[in-house]
Amino acid sequence: MPPLNMSPREILAKLVSFPTVSRDSNLPLIDWVESYLQSHGVESKRVPNEDGSKASLYAVIGPKVPGGVVLSGHTDVVPVDGQDWSSDPWVLEERGGRLYGRGAVDMKGFDALALAAVPLALKAGIKRPLMIALSYDEELGCEGCRGMVEEMAATLPAPEAVIVGEPSMMKVVTGHKGGTAFKVHLKGFEVHSSIMHTGVNAIMEAAKLISWANEKNAENRERVPGPVGAAFVPPWTTVHVGTISGGTAHNITAGDCHMGLDFRVVPGEDLDDWVAAAEAKVAEVRAEMQAVRPEADIVLDRYFTVPPLVPEPGGAAEALMRRLTGDNASHVVSYGTEAGHFQRNGWSAAVCGPGDIDQAHKADEYIEVAQFEAGWAFMQRVVGQLSE
């Protein structure tokens, strides 16, 4: 059983010690968090993945009434393979006013602060609930939180606000782009390249999809952005191909080609419209391939979808976080977070957390001690609000 009186930094050190790389299980960390909550008399609920190798966890501290606050974070981290670290990435180390360790900023720093707020909330006798929500596989496309968010929305009283603690330097982020991605497998037909017209070159057919992506980017760049999209950088929906592989030899038409295709869609545009446009282009190219060889094909595997976080002018989450931080500026980001899933399920959400996203995913990842302390002061203000 974890010690009762752990400081936020001690909790962070413990969380960092679990190597919860997304490709691996996060259950040892979830076991520890469950024990930590039990040590304070708080029951929690796990929401496992299909094979039981990973789980999300949520808990309610205080009365189960409307108007609470959700503190949402993910437990998974990116790999350290091939990175040149100056210290053990799984041991929290302070150097020069910084706390180093994998996940220190993205986003076990916020997770630690949320857990440290539990005994504070119990002692304060809060009148509205503090909810903890910890997910898995955020780094693989924000998919791991979906079951947990849906279950929470179906069974718990609606909170006033969901605070997704991605590192934002404690600024209030009220909007982000939505996103989805496909693994694309083009199945061609191999013949000698001297008679290439009798075969189907999967790589050259993939080039048609890449050309389509470039055309859409050019069109989007030239379009005058809407009032919501104008706040983003870039202020338009992007279509991206980041990986491609295939072929057997230079003198053989490629029998296979694998590529990635992803979209980052500005709020105000429909993500499903972009999916439909991609599927239509794939159908067009597939028909051309099958006109030569009927067995040729294109297979789309849509492996994640992140709903956009649409700004809620005057929304409850934004208003609460502005009161707690004093930040009245407008901030949006082009990367996705789990906030969109909460919002899609009817809960007001925004992003606010300690640390700089620029430090995430790198060797020698760190969070500034000053930012960690600012995050702790923020948590104390959250508890204060729930006590009123």
Kindly report, residue by residue over 126-140, the tens digit of the pLDDT. 999 999 999 999 999
Q: Which residues pair with 252 in a beta bridge?
A: 192
Q: Token pair for residue 325? A: 């931080």
Kindly report, residue by residue over 239-266, the tens digit of the pLDDT. 999 999 999 999 999 999 999 999 999 9
Q: Round to whole Å and give the CA distance between 7 and 282.
A: 54
Q: Token pair for residue 334? A: 């082009």
Q: What is the mean pLDDT of the chain?
A: 96
Q: What angle do CA 336, 265, 244 make, to 5 degrees?
A: 85
Q: What is the pLDDT of residue 4?
A: 77
Burial call 329-339: b when 16+ CB within 10 Å, e when fewer: eebbbeebbbb
| Nearest Cα residue to 144 out of 286, 46, 71 | 46
If you ran DSSP here, which 8-state letter would residue 21 be given?
Answer: B
Kindly report, residue by residue over 50-67, the tens digit of the pLDDT. 999 999 999 999 999 999
Q: What is the pLDDT of residue 313?
A: 84
Q: Round to whole Å and give the CA distance between 97 and 178.
A: 35
Kindly report, residue by residue over 269-278, the tens digit of the pLDDT. 999 999 999 9
Inter-residue contact 236 to 266 (CB < 8 Å): yes
Q: Round to whole Å and give the CA distance between 121 and 379.
A: 10
Q: Round to whole Å and give the CA distance between 332 and 175.
A: 5
Kindly report, residue by residue over 142-187, the tens digit of the pLDDT. 989 999 999 999 999 999 999 999 999 999 999 999 999 999 999 9
If you ran DSSP here, which 8-state letter would residue 158 be given?
Answer: P
Q: Round to whole Å and give the CA distance between 62 and 256.
A: 56
Over pLDDT 90: what percentage of the chain? 93
Kindly report, residue by residue over 329-381, the tens digit of the pLDDT. 889 988 889 999 999 999 999 999 999 999 999 999 999 999 999 999 999 99
Q: What is the pLDDT of residue 1?
A: 73
Kindly report, residue by residue over 195-223, the tens digit of the pLDDT. 999 999 999 999 999 999 999 999 999 99
Instruction: Say yes or no to pLDDT of 3 above 80.
Output: no
Q: Could you write out the DSSP letters of every residue in 100-144?
A: ESTTTTTTHHHHHHHHHHHHHHHHHT-SS-EEEEEES-GGGTS-T
Q: What angle do CA 8, 9, 13 make, to 5 degrees?
A: 120
Q: Token pair for residue 33? A: 């968090």
Q: Which residues pair with 259 in a beta bridge?
A: 184, 244
Q: Which residues pair with 257 in a beta bridge?
A: 186, 246
Q: Looking up tokens 């909460």, which residue turns up?
A: 342
| Nearest Cα residue to 201 out of 140, 255, 137 | 255
If you ran DSSP here, which 8-state letter would residue 200 be given?
Answer: B
Q: What is the pLDDT of residue 48?
A: 98
What pTM was estimated for this model as a whole? 0.89
Q: Which residues pair with 45 in a beta bridge?
A: 58
Q: Could you write out the DSSP letters of every residue in 49-87?
A: -TTSS-EEEEEEES---SS-EEEEEE--B---TT---SS
Inter-residue contact 97 to 159 (CB < 8 Å): no
Over pLDDT 70: what percentage of the chain? 100
